[in-house]
């Protein structure tokens, strides 16, 4: 299932920025598709929930949901269930993002629901300790994101390299099959390169891409930097 992805991986979370809803979700996803094709780098997009099906229908890169609830199909008004994420054409989901936190029991249930539906789980954690707990739950991918750096433009790979390396080490020890990304403040190709040099297999980012004056230029720089750093590993 996770073989639908390759590494280094750049995951773009559009959140619900005004610049990334509706037609903009499609536009930004198409730019990501172009860059992915030109550089042969795996780029995942996670558009706003309401745009998920449209984006998945229009691009041929992996599309993820930003969230899934722990429920089975049934009477859960307003919920997002794994079956519907799959029906919309997504192949995975972000789980437990700092802006959409879940209780530990619900994280386990969501991972199970994703597995049942053949969907890839990208679990977010906020500290080295929660990364250890997260790794034990065997998600396909884990992304460590210190919440205080999210949306700041201050890259975790430069401001908190020790957190990234400790997370990478912890996952290696507990569950080496889990792929590790880092995120928060990633804004340049250099930030991406640094993340990979610290031992991650890519990045999860949002605002720098969504709000970029020239998203294609920025993403191309990131893809190129990711490949260069990956080759040097
Ligand atoms: O999911 C990615 C995210 O939380 C990081 O956001 O805006 O700092 O890249 P940003």
Task: Give the pLDDT score at 4.
Answer: 87
In the residue annotation, 169 being an active-site residue is answered as no
The tokens of 163 are what? 């957190």
How far away, in angstroms, is 162 Cα from ligand 1 center?
19
pLDDT tens digits for range 97-153 = 999 999 999 999 999 999 999 999 999 999 999 999 999 999 999 999 999 999 999
- Contact of 193 with 225, CB cutoff 8 Å: yes
**Helix or strand or coil: residue 167?**
helix
Contacts of 36 (CB under 8 A, 6+ apart): 42, 43, 61, 223
- Contact of 46 with 94, CB cutoff 8 Å: yes
Of 186, 178, 135, 130, give the one whose Cα is nearest residue 158.
186
Q: Measured over all CA atoms, what is the biggest interatomic distance in the chain, rounded to whole angstroms?
A: 51
Question: Looking at ligand 1, which atom is closest to the CA of residue 184?
Answer: 8
Return the number of other C-beta atoms located less than 10 Å from residue 130's C-beta.
18
In whole angstroms, give the CA distance from residue 19 to residue 112: 33
How far away, in angstroms, is 108 Cα from ligand 1 center?
23
Task: Give the pLDDT score at 1.
Answer: 47
User: For ligand 1, atom 5, which residue shows the shortest CA distance?
Assistant: 184
Per-residue pLDDT of the chain (233 residues; tens, 9 = 90+): 455 899 999 999 999 999 999 999 999 999 999 999 999 999 999 999 999 999 999 999 999 999 999 999 999 999 999 999 999 999 999 999 999 999 999 999 999 999 999 999 999 999 999 999 999 999 999 999 999 999 999 999 999 999 999 999 999 999 999 999 999 999 999 999 999 999 999 999 999 999 999 999 999 999 999 999 999 99
Ligand 1 proximity of 185 Cβ (cutoff 6 Å): yes
Ligand 1 proximity of 191 Cβ (cutoff 6 Å): no
Ligand 1 proximity of 205 Cβ (cutoff 6 Å): yes
- Contact of 91 with 4, CB cutoff 8 Å: yes
User: For ligand 1, atom 2, which residue shows the shortest CA distance?
Assistant: 205
- Contact of 209 with 12, CB cutoff 8 Å: yes
Which of the residues 33, 38, 83, 97 is marked catalytic? 97
How far away, in angstroms, is 5 Cα from ligand 1 center?
20
Q: Which domains does the chain have, with CATH numbers?
A: 2-231 (3.20.20.70)
In the residue annotation, 97 being an active-site residue is answered as yes
């Amino acid at each position: 299932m996770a073989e639908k992805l390759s590494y280094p991986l750049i995951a773009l979370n559009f959140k619900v920025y005004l610049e990334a809803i509706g037609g903009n979700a499609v536009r930004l996803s198409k730019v990501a598709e172009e860059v992915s094709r030109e550089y042969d780098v795996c780029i995942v997009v996670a558009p706003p929930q309401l745009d998920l099906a449209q984006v998945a229908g229009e691009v041929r890169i992996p599309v993820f949901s930003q969230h899934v609830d722990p429920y089975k199909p049934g009477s859960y008004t307003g919920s997002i269930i794994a079956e519907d994420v799959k029906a919309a054409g997504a192949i995975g989901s972000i789980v437990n993002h700092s802006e959409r936190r879940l209780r530990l029991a619900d994280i386990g249930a969501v991972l199970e629901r994703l597995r049942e539906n053949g969907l890839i789980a990208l679990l977010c954690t906020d500290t080295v300790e929660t990364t250890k707990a997260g790794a034990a739950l065997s998600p396909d991918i884990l992304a460590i994101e210190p919440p205080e750096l999210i949306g700041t433009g201050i890259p975790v790979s430069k401001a908190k390299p020790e957190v990234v390396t400790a997370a990478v080490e912890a996952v290696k020890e507990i569950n080496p099959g889990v792929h590790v990304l880092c995120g928060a403040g990633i804004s340049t190709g250099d930030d991406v390169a640094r993340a990979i040099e610290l031992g991650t297999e890519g990045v999860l980012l949002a605002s720098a891409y969504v709000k970029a004056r020239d998203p294609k230029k920025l993403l191309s720089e990131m893809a190129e930097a990711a490949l260069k750093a990956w080759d040097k590993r």
